[in-house]
């Protein structure tokens, strides 16, 4: 007689199958959402609004909000920073284009927009779920946390903007010159009539 668990690897538990199927479906919809930037950010804004309303009505969970703010600030810095730090690049032997004659290279982010959006959305969802557990509701004087976060935001943004000015890069696309490329040539029949 064979034992019930003798097959070992050939049998997969129903929970593992369900998790694998859910993971595939989730990844499918996540991949399909990639080109819809505005809709993704509107959904994240809705999640943030739901979280803010939850914290406002419960009147607590300020430590979670502070941690969420620090995490979002960290993501923002990664989003605004170049993949290769120009300050370190000079020591490596390669250099970024600093003169008009140098080759143009587009801005390559350390944290791409999609990963920034995904991490921020997950953070708001996890923070929202944490507001349902009273163990995370630590009593604090929230104005101190708020002003400390504003102070950190100010210092961090000042350092980031100084870095952007020093190495002359702009992490945003608005306001930059766009090139349309070549215009399609007219048909040869119209030219031959002349």
pLDDT at 167: 80
25-55 confidence digits (pLDDT tens)? 999 999 999 999 999 999 999 999 999 999 9
DSSP letters, 14-44, are: HHHHHHHHHHHHHHHHHHHHTT-HHHHHHHH
Spatial separation of the C-alpha atoms in residues 167 and 165, rounded to whole Å: 6
Dihedrals phi, psi of 33, to nearest 5 degrees: -80, -10
Read off the tokens for 123. Answer: 């953070």
3-state secondary structure of 118: helix
The domain spans of the chain are 36-95+105-171
pLDDT at 147: 95
Three state DSSP letters for 57-112:
HHCCCHHHHHHHHHHHHHHHHHHHCECCCHHHHHHHCCCCCCCCCCCCCCCCECCC
pLDDT at 189: 52
pLDDT at 6: 53
11-30 confidence digits (pLDDT tens)? 789 989 999 999 999 999 99
For the chain, the C-alpha Rg in angstroms (whole number) is 25
Residues of the chain with pLDDT under 50: 93-95
Neighbours of 62 (CB within 10 A): 19
């Amino acid at each position: 007689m064979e034992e019930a668990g003798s097959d070992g690897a050939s049998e997969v538990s129903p929970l593992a199958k369900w998790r694998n199927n859910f993971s595939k479906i989730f990844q499918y919809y996540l991949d399909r959402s990639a080109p819809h930037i505005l809709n993704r950010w509107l959904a994240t804004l809705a999640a943030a609004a739901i979280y803010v309303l939850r914290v406002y009505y419960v009147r607590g969970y300020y430590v979670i909000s502070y941690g969420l703010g620090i995490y979002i600030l960290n993501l923002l810095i990664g989003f605004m920073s170049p993949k290769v730090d120009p300050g370190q690049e000079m020591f490596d032997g390669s250099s970024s284009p600093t003169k008009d004659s140098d080759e143009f290279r587009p801005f390559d982010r350390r944290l791409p927009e999609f990963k920034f959006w995904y991490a921020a959305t997950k953070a708001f969802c996890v923070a929202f779920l944490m507001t349902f557990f009273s163990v995370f509701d630590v009593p604090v004087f929230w104005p101190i946390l708020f002003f400390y976060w504003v102070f950190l935001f100010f210092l961090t943004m000042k350092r980031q903007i100084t870095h952007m000015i020093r190495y002359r890069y702009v992490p945003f696309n608005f306001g930059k010159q766009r090139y349309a490329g070549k215009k399609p040539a007219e048909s040869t029949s119209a030219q031959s009539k002349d």
